[in-house]
Amino acid sequence: MIEITGKTKLTGLLGQPVAHSISPAMHNKSFELNHLDYVYLAFDVAPDQLSHAVSFLKETGCVGYNLTMPHKRAIIPYLDELTPAARLAGAVNTVLLRDDGTLLGHTTDGIGFWRSQNEIGYNHIGQTVTLLGTGGAATAIMVQGALDGVKKINVFKRKNSTFEEAQKMIETIRSNTDCELQLLDLANLRLLRECIEESSILINATNVGMEPDIENSIIHDSSLFSSHLLVSDIIYHPRNTKFLQLAQSQGCMTSNGLYMLLYQGAASFKMWTGKEMPTETIKELYFQ
């Protein structure tokens, strides 16, 4: 059991629901291994209680906290400053209470994704990327990639009622970075094939193929996968999605989203403590 003292520093997670989260286990073990007098708790916060929760945590001197659904965008009006990544993504998953009493919002989701790819030997700097989806995770991935120095990102989504909104978001990222971005219609298989062929990595950042819909895939034609590709799916339930299976059938190296979760947490941990999360130990304990 964690020993709580009069000097224990509070961190945590705000969301609804949060009971399923692995974050308390990974952070509290990391605090223990770093000999830090911190604790990480999960707070089930309804949308209409978010402002009260933010005020309370600030008044109690909470070092910082994570946000999960449905609060990643709703938190922004309560913060004093955003990092460039959070501002461009329009979402926050990590808050830091600074020494001057102000709240800084950041997003570590994109950091977590790209570090998970770097760990298996892929260097995204200067590369051309094809990304499927424009939701919260996809946006974090494209923003961080653009800030890091990805050369070009081909973004595909269904041409539905949110297509124009996604186009504006991509134009904003493009005008604030040196990355070339374009939004394309997922139904255009000719363009999809061309963009995949020029890319070194193909990323599914949609929820297509997630449990319980495990027999579905955002791409159905296995011939679209070239063996030179790294193919990544941010889904980790199941760990080997239909999308990844199709890629494997064409000789592609593949990865899932499990370690994205680990490394986004590691980035939050460092933001709060200044210390590195012992990720190899945490992998062994919670990510097998």
Sign of the CA dihedral 205, 211, 213, 214? positive
Annotated binding residue 255: no
CA distance 150 to 127: 5
Catalytic residue among 72, 152, 157, 242: 72
Annotated binding residue 234: yes
Annotated binding residue 236: yes
**Per-state percent for the chain, helix, strand, coil, to nearest 5:** 40, 20, 40
Annotated binding residue 127: no
Annotated binding residue 23: yes
Annotated binding residue 22: yes
State the DSSP code for 8.
P
Annotated binding residue 101: no
Q: Which of 164, 221, 171 is nearest to 196 (CA)?
A: 221
Which amino acid would we find at residue 279? T
Radius of gyration of the chain from Cα atoms? 19
Does the annotation count 72 as an active-site position? yes
Neighbouring residues of 146: CB distance < 8 A, sequence distance ≥ 6? 88, 153, 173, 174, 177, 178, 179, 181
Annotated binding residue 109: yes
State the DSSP code for 222.
G
What residue spans of the chain are helical by DSSP H? 23-33, 50-59, 84-89, 109-118, 136-148, 163-175, 189-198, 242-249, 258-273, 279-286
Q: Which of 115, 116, 93, 113 is nearest to 105 (CA)?
A: 93
Annotated binding residue 21: yes
Q: Are 29 and 282 in contact (CB under 8 A)?
A: yes
Q: What amino acid positions are annotated as catalytic residues?
A: 72
Q: What residues are designated binding site for NADP(+)?
A: 234, 257
Q: What residues are designated binding site for shikimate?
A: 21-23, 68, 93, 109, 236, 264
